[in-house]
Structure 1
Amino acid sequence: MPEVGPSIFLSRVSLQKLQILKTMADGSMELTELHRKSTNWAKTVDEIVKLEKKIFPKHESLARSFDDELKKKNSGLLYLQFNSEIAGYVMYTSPSSLCAVITKLAVKEKYRRQGHGEALMKAAIEKCRSKRINRISLHVDPLRSSAVSLYKKLGFQIDTLVTAYYSSDRDAYRMFIDFDNE
């Protein structure tokens, strides 16, 4: 299995579901793709919305429209769970067959700096690549240096600075990664 992060291994269960298992002294991490028809849809979305509200300022939060975002045909969400607690998630959308956009990446405070954000991003990238996506883009606040560093480590490049992206006094880097899908 290819190594994804510190002692986290990515295994393909199917194109429909990805799992990351991290054996820990008191349990395991599991990364799962959220499916509309899954029996735990409502509970999972509720937990993710709570996390969204806690992490992001109101004007950046998708909490009010989260369910609607996930209903879109070309959107996807991967979430990381530890002992049935959601530790983080990554949300993406594919506006065309050639490109995808990472719309959200969030990891609970107590699970940060442990490689979980990187594992979520790598799983989302792999999911997009399996769909033969040529480019993935995202926006990030330049002041979130750890996030910018993570994206650069994964191969993303800064395209441009978008002024007033988040608010009148908060800009964003637009970043991208291209793939050769021959």
Structure 2
Amino acid sequence: MVCRAPQQKARTSAMGSGVVELQRNSTNWAKAVGEIVKMERKIFPKHESLASSFAEELKKKNSGLIYVELDGEVVGYVMYSWPSSLFASIAKLAVKENYRRQGHGEALLKAAIQKCRSRKVHRISLHVDPLRTPAMSLYKKLGFQVDALIVGYYSPDRDANRMYLEFDSE
């Protein structure tokens, strides 16, 4: 594991937002996780939410979380994991409603892709409701392809597209 400063920030083109990788030893861990859990509860239905297990998920060795912070407020996040060098998965990507369509989701997804690439991951997968047109457009824009339709993935009447992004062998 590479050691980094607890508050390592990288500027993005998303209107000057700060993209921050949450570090386990960070002084703002509790504050950031608290804000993300609130966002998780508001955005996702209870059966899709990781709010009750968020802190535990983040303690797993091969998991990461990147968030966008504007003026001290967390406005979006992406949670990902890389169980092996063969693949990674995007577990969650969310942006607060009043901050959508401003490039924050794209900045988060690009940052997660870059983290996975730096770990030499060969393939990233995710699931998305095919009716979520903006999300589908973003994933396709960044090179993700639909692999399969998973019937009843979210609920009996709500399906998901399984999508993937594959990297060339180096």
Q: TM-score normalized by structure 2?
A: 0.93
Distance 1:122 1:69, change over 3 A: same
Count of aligned positions: 166
| Partner of residue 179 from structure 1, selected from 156, 167, 170 | 167
Q: Report the Cα distance in structure 1 between the residues aligned to 2:158 and 2:128, rounded to whole angstroms.
A: 10
Q: Deviations along 1:135-161, whole A, 9 cap, x unmatched?
A: 000000011011011100100000000
Q: Which runs of 5+ in 2 are unaligned?
A: none
Paired residue for 1:112?
Answer: 100
Aligned pairs for 1:141-180 (under 5 A) are 141-180=129-168
Q: Report the Cα distance in structure 1 between the residues aligned to 2:54 and 2:25, rounded to whole angstroms.
A: 16
Q: Secondary structure of 1:105's match? A: strand
Q: Report the Cα distance in structure 2 between the residues aligned to 1:49 and 1:79, rounded to whole angstroms.
A: 12
Overall identity of the aligned pairs, in %: 65
Q: Which has the higher strand share?
A: 1
Q: Report the Cα distance in structure 2 between the residues aligned to 1:40 and 1:141, rounded to whole angstroms.
A: 32
Q: Report the Cα distance in structure 2 between the residues aligned to 1:48 and 1:23, rounded to whole angstroms.
A: 19
Q: Report the Cα distance in structure 2 between the residues aligned to 1:129 and 1:19, rounded to whole angstroms.
A: 17
Paired residue for 1:96?
Answer: 84
Paired residue for 2:118?
Answer: 130
1:108, CA displacement in angstroms?
Answer: 0.5
Q: Which runs of 5+ in 1 are unaligned?
A: 1-13
1:20, CA displacement in angstroms?
Answer: 2.4
Q: Report the Cα distance in structure 1 between the residues aligned to 2:32 and 2:90, rounded to whole angstroms.
A: 19
1:19, CA displacement in angstroms?
Answer: 1.2
Aligned-residue CA RMSD in angstroms? 1.6
Moved over 2 A (4+): 14-18, 20-24
Distance 1:22 1:156, change over 3 A: closer
Q: Secondary structure of 2:17's match? A: strand
